[in-house]
Structures are given as structure tokens and as C-alpha cells.
């Protein structure tokens, strides 16, 4: 399936077939897509919690209570659920880990190149930390780039997906001890195969026209 066909065909699944499971080799491609996602100055301010067992999905579903109960079945009936987490800050340990990984992957021809990358990245971090005072929001934006990559990737792999912001962040952060790790839960994505009760699968896609969406200059 080409990428445009996948984008036009994909939909947000509203109900999953609880008996169908995505092969792990297919999900591994989703994991690789998430790791390969772009981020500003290669900041990679994310961590992904993967639930591929009923027990794991039940832990995530604890955050779909009360006003969020409409999302519970999309979590428990799915094949896999991923919690996309964002770093709360770009601390020194993460900045150094990024540099070391880039060094190991052969990104720097010499020490000056390493120092240049470090300085540029810290410049953006400081701009958001001290200038815009929006570093957490800036980091969250990078995680949403990974979300988009995963959703389009799932469509090309012909599996269904459901992004969800409707959950209790505090419950999930406590369940997985995220804050102590410098992380916070941001968005969930379920993956699986739609059931016959997925009403959204049969509806036509609706988007604003090209004329309304673009300005060509």
C-alpha cells in the first residue's frame, strides 16, 4: 500500500476484535517507527510503555475510569496499547546520553562537531526554558511527531489504531512511577483489528477542501 492510499484509508478505530492479535513482528515495525521519529535537534524526549498482555492493558485501563470510561474497551480489547510519555525536562543526563548515542552512531567527524551539536541543542533547550518558559510544552510537541508517525505507519501495515487523550494522567503516572523517572504520560495509542461494531470503519473520511486548507503563494 502506498503512503497516500494508507493515509486516505486509515480511520480511528472505535471498537476492536478482542480475539485477534497483531503478530509481534508487525508490532516491532511500529516500535522501530516510533524510535525513528523526527524530533527537534534530535531531542528524542520520549519513552514508550508497551502493553501486549491482558494484564498490561488492564493496568493502563485503570486510567479510563469515570468520565473516561468510554475509552476502557478500546484499551482492554485491543491487541497492543502504547503509552507515549514525554520527558518533563531536558536534564543533563539525557543531554549527555543523546551525545553519547550520536557519537556511537558515527554522527561526529571530530570533537568540534560533537561540541557544535551539543551547543546547538542546549541553545534550543535554553530558549524554551528561559525565553519562552515552555520547555515541557516544547517537548510534548516532539512526542506528537512520534504519534503521527505511528498512526500513519499502522495504516501502511494494515492494522488499526486509536489515539486517546481521554484518560486520567495522574492515575497512569502513578501506576508506572513515571514522574520519578522524569516522565509524564501524554497520549495512548491502541493497536489491533476493528470489530464489526466499529462504526467509524464504514464512514467516509471527511476533511476540509484543499482550497480551505492551503494557501499557495
Of 96, 165, 181, 205, which is the active-site residue?
A: 165
**Secondary structure, 3-state, the chain:** CCHHHHHHHCCECCCECCCCCCCHHHHHHHHHHHHCCCCHHHCCCEEEEEECCHHHHHHHHCCCCHHHHHHHHHHHCCCEEEEEEEECCCCHHHHHHHHHHHHHCCCCCCHHHHHHHHHHHHHHHHHHHHHCCCHHHHHHHHHHHHHHHHHHHHHHCCCEEEEECCCCHHHHHHHCCCHHHCEEEEEEEEEECECCCCHHHHCCCCCCCHHHHCCCC
Report yes or no: 173 and 184 within 8 Å, Cβ to Cβ. yes
**Known active-site residue 205:** no
| Active-site residue, 211 included | no
Task: For residue 55, indicate whether it is catalytic.
Answer: no
By annotation, the residues acting in catalysis are 14, 74, 165
Amino acid at each position: 500500500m502506498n503512503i497516500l492510499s494508507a493515509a486516505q484509508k486509515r480511520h480511528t478505530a472505535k471498537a476492536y476484535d478482542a480475539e485477534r492479535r497483531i503478530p509481534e513482528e508487525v508490532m516491532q515495525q511500529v516500535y522501530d517507527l516510533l524510535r525513528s521519529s523526527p524530533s527537534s535537534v534530535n531531542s528524542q524526549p520520549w519513552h514508550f510503555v508497551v502493553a501486549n498482555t491482558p494484564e498490561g492493558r488492564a493496568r493502563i485501563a485503570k486510567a479510563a475510569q469515570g468520565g473516561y470510561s468510554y475509552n476502557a474497551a478500546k484499551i482492554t480489547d485491543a491487541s497492543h496499547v502504547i503509552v507515549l510519555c514525554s520527558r518533563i525536562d531536558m536534564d543533563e543526563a539525557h543531554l549527555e546520553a543523546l551525545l553519547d548515542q550520536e557519537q556511537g552512531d558515527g554522527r561526529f567527524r571530530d570533537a568540534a562537531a560533537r561540541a557544535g551539536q551539543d551547543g546547538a541543542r542546549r541553545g534550543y533547550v535554553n530558549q524554551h526554558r528561559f525565553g519562552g518558559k515552555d520547555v515541557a510544552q516544547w517537548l510534548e510537541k516532539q512526542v506528537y511527531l512520534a504519534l503521527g508517525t505511528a498512526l500513519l505507519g499502522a495504516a501502511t501495515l494494515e492494522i488499526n489504531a486509536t489515539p486517546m487523550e481521554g484518560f486520567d494522567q495522574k492515575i497512569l503516572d502513578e501506576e508506572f512511577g513515571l514522574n520519578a523517572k522524569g516522565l509524564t504520560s501524554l497520549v495512548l495509542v491502541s493497536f489491533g483489528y476493528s470489530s464489526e461494531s466499529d462504526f467509524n470503519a464504514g464512514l467516509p473520511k471527511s476533511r476540509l477542501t484543499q482550497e480551505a486548507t492551503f494557501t499557495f503563494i
